[in-house]
Amino acid sequence: MFTDKEYLILLLLIPLTAFFMFYFFHKRKKDILKFMTFKMFNETAGININIYKLKNILMLISLFFVIIALANPQFGVKTTVISKKAATIVIVMDVSKSMLAEDLKPSRLEIAKISLSNLTAGFKGNKIGIIVFAGSAFWKCPITADIAAANNFLNTVSVDDVPLPGTKISKALDLALDSTADIPEGAKAVLLVTDGEDDDSGLHVLIEKAKKYRTKIYTIGIGNAEGSKIPLNNGEFMKDKDGNIVITRLDEETLQYISDATGGKYINLSETRDSIYKILQIADSLDKSKDEISKEVKREEQYQIFLFLAFILFCVSFYLSIFRREGKNE
């Protein structure tokens, strides 16, 4: 394969150059034959026609190899083993309907996405995974060292990602904890981004699991304690089964409990301007002593071979030209 295929169009120069070589050779031959036989001219001038033709052929082949080299051919496979140190951060994002509340403009979810998106550059050197949850939970972005890709996934997070209603924090934490179970303590962290409202009774079980796996859960609260209505697409507000408008409030008590119980920290995203800085401190505090071995497989660039062949043919052609002149002088 070629990485710079546009240069291959220069191959059209080869038949064009060959045509002009052929054309001018025969034109000169025709002009010479007007005054003497070609054999007489060859003997008088001391020119070896076969060497002359060979020289031109070598020059054309040399041009061919130069063009191929410009197109940067790649073949063969090179495997490089890369050793690097990284910590793992799993972002667990609440996408339940309560995240549509507008106590933070334009909405809790949009503020959370914007804030975390601005943080991804600070997470460079780590690995990131993104889990979204509502009534169930799944991976939006598997754990990856490609921070840019993770950021792209983060920007597409929506309440439509999980159609099952509800807020099952424990289901999301279960996924996150299982994915980091084999990572050493201190080289991993779970960032739980939510308003804290939970309709699941299994939270205490997951806290015990986090302790067992020695995984700290950092809770990031989004919203305010006064509460807000939840707007729907039809312009109305979400109501409960009795027809009353639902008011969603930030449950700081639950989030503080989760972080304290697992050795993490609670951060209110909307409380102060330095909230984002506090989240960055979490990434900086992680131990990156865990060695990650990965293999990078790529095709090798082989343009050097063709440049070498072109150089050799050019030298041979040049030598033949010098050799003729020396023969003529003798």
- Does residue 240 sit in the same domain as residue 127? yes
Percent of the chain residues past pLDDT 90, beyond the cut: 36
Host domain of residue 316: 5-73+302-329
- Interatomic CA distance for residues 292 and 272, integer angstroms: 36
**Do 222 and 268 have their domain in common?**
yes
Question: Dihedral, CA atoms, 195, 201, 207, 212, nearest 10 degrees?
Answer: -150
* Selection from 276, 302, 9, 314 nearest residue 117 by Cα: 276
Q: Taking residues 262-279, what's their average pLDDT? A: 80
Q: Are 58 and 89 in a shared domain?
A: no
Number of domains in the chain: 2
Q: What is the pLDDT of residue 330?
A: 41
Q: Is the pLDDT assigned to residue 139 strictly greater than 90? A: yes
The pLDDT, as a whole number, for residue 326 is 44
117 and 35 part of one domain: no
What is residue 116's predicted lDDT score, i.e. its pLDDT? 85
Q: Quick one: average pLDDT of 76-104?
A: 83
Domain check: are 46 and 123 in the same one?
no
Backbone angles phi, psi at 88, to 5 degrees: -115, 130
